[in-house]
């Protein structure tokens, strides 16, 4: 359990509360006096809680959904001034610079989605010295020192990847050759997904890994890496685990261009659950999609409020996610998909 009592945070909440009280008082609005209620808009700008969001920025549909959801949730109407700082070309230094400027400018709290898992100790210690709490969004840090942040909010990468492996073992009992399309080296979720997947597949002797390579979360790289590995294995690949949807959609293209039928000759499973992937599952081109739910802005908002109020939080808050294992399940889900 974690105790996060920050003087700054309590002052931020108190001043917002006092301000709200004073606005009500000066607004009149008594039921007996019959005075017209003052409008808060005209009285004073309410004190907003400032949130520094050190974000990843443009990366794919999952990231777009996650970061838009965060910005929509931490709105001024909700009492927040969210300062969005996307990385420059996924560069960690640009994130560290943004993080540092948030600490120096004295924001009330920082949300961090790290482009790289390692290299955050100095920044996190600087925030700690300034009594600015940090909440990790999606991505973890390596080594995982839970004393350096309040909590991490994310779906469970290990379990999400395990669900892919467990489905494959059940769906293809004969096994065969498989490849893994990984996210970028050094990103924490990639290691967690490998850990979860291998915790099942490493004991399945009927499966043989004939290739594993990063395709950097991208469709074009997912296609080119799959092309290369299909050629290297003379098309003798029965299963592809793509660690995100975009890479899996690229794998579909490569499988088709090799003259093979996705979903029949080669089955492809992905993680994220974005619309394009669920549609590809409905079309029979993907065979399994494990959702990695990006829409947890409300959970983050609750964690921020509790943190600034000095409440204890667990070091990890799990975001629930589901799976889709058939075209029928995908078709049923499509009308309600929000990302
Ligand atoms: O950290 C989450 C991963 O980052 C998603 O699975 C991927 O699509 C995104 O780029």
- Give the burial string for 244-273 (b: 16+ CB within 10 Å, else e): bbbbbbbbbbbbeeeeeebbeebbbbbbbb
Question: Which residue of 70, 113, 183 sits with most ligand 1 atoms within 8 Å of its CB, as the best mutation to test the pocket?
Answer: 183
Distance of CA 187 from the midpoint of ligand 1 (Å): 9
What SS3 state is found at 253?
Answer: helix
* Pairing assessment for the beta strands 323-324 and 288-291 based on DSSP bridges: antiparallel
**Residue 297 in this model has a pLDDT that exceeds 60:** yes
- Ligand 1 in reach of 244 Cβ (< 6 A): yes
- The answer to whether residues 206 and 137 belong to one domain is no
Residue 255 within a domain: yes
- The answer to whether residues 150 and 227 belong to one domain is no
Name the token pair of 81.
């001034």
State how far the Cα of 23 lies from the Cα of 28, in Å rounded to an integer. Answer: 9
State how far the Cα of 158 lies from the Cα of 165, in Å rounded to an integer. Answer: 11
- The answer to whether residues 101 and 206 belong to one domain is no
- Ligand 1 in reach of 152 Cβ (< 6 A): no
3-state secondary structure string across 70-135:
HHHHCCCCCCEEEEEEECCCCCHHHHHHHHHHHHHHCCCEEEECCCCCCCCHHHHHHHHHCCCCEE
- Ligand 1 in reach of 160 Cβ (< 6 A): no
Q: How many domains does the chain have?
A: 2
- The answer to whether residues 191 and 128 belong to one domain is no
- The answer to whether residues 145 and 166 belong to one domain is no
- Ligand 1 in reach of 330 Cβ (< 6 A): no
User: What pLDDT digit, counting tens, does each position of 255-287 carry?
Assistant: 999 999 999 999 999 999 999 999 999 999 999
- The answer to whether residues 150 and 163 belong to one domain is no
**For residues 253 and 181, is the Cβ–Cβ distance under 8 A?**
no
Its domain, for residue 196, covers 157-292+324-336
Which of 9-23, 91-105, 228-242, 252-266 has the lowest average pLDDT? 9-23
State how far the Cα of 299 lies from the Cα of 80, in Å rounded to an integer. Answer: 15
Residue 183 within a domain: yes
Query: Which atom of ligand 1 is nearest to 243's Cα?
Result: 6
CATH number at residue 135: 3.40.50.2300
Q: State the angle between helix axes of 275-282 and 245-257 in degrees (0 to 180), rounded to the nearest 10.
A: 40
Q: Is 306 left (phi over 0), alpha (psi -120 to 50) or beta?
A: alpha
Average pLDDT, the chain: 90
Query: Which atom of ligand 1 is nearest to 271's Cα?
Result: 6
Residue 316 within a domain: no
Query: Which atom of ligand 1 is nearest to 62's Cα?
Result: 8
| Residue 16 pLDDT class (50, 70, 90 cuts) | very low
Tell me if the pTM is above 0.85.
yes
- Give the burial string for 118-133 (b: 16+ CB within 10 Å, else e): ebbeebbeebbeeebb
| Residue 12 pLDDT class (50, 70, 90 cuts) | low
């Amino acid at each position: 359990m974690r105790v996060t009592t920050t003087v700054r945070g309590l002052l931020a909440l108190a001043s917002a509360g006092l301000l709200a009280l004073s606005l009500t008082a000066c607004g009149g609005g008594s039921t007996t006096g019959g005075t017209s209620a003052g409008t808060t808009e005209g009285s004073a700008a309410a004190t907003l809680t400032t949130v520094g969001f050190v974000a990843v920025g443009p990366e794919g549909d999952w990231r777009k959904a996650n970061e838009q959801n965060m910005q929509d949730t931490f709105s001024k109407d909700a009492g927040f001034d969210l300062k969005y700082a996307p990385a420059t070309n996924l560069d960690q230094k640009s994130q560290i610079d943004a993080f540092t400027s948030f600490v120096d400018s004295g924001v009330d709290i920082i949300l961090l989605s790290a482009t790289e898992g390692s290299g955050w100790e100095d920044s996190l210690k600087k925030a700690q010295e300034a009594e600015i709490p940090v909440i990790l969004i999606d991505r973890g840090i390596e080594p995982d020192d839970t004393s350096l942040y309040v909590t991490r909010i994310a779906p469970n990468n290990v379990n999400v990847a395990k669900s892919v492996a467990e489905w494959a073992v059940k769906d293809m009992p004969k096994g065969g050759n498989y490849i893994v399309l990984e996210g970028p080296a050094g990103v924490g979720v990639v290691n967690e997904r490998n850990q979860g997947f291998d915790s099942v597949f490493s004991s399945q002797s009927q499966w043989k890994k004939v290739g594993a390579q990063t395709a950097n979360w991208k469709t074009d790289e997912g296609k080119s890496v799959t092309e290369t590995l299909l050629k290297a294995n003379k098309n003798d690949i029965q299963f592809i685990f793509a660690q995100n949807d975009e890479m899996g959609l690229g794998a579909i293209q490569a499988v088709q261009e090799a003259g093979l039928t996705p979903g029949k000759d080669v089955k492809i499973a992905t993680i994220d659950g974005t619309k394009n992937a669920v549609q590809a599952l409905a079309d029979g081109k993907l065979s399994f999609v494990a959702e990695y739910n990006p829409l947890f802005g409300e959970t983050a908002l609750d964690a921020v409020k509790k943190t600034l109020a000095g409440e204890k939080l667990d070091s990890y808050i799990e975001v629930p996610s589901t799976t889709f294992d058939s075209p029928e399940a995908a078709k049923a889900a499509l009308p309600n998909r929000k990302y």
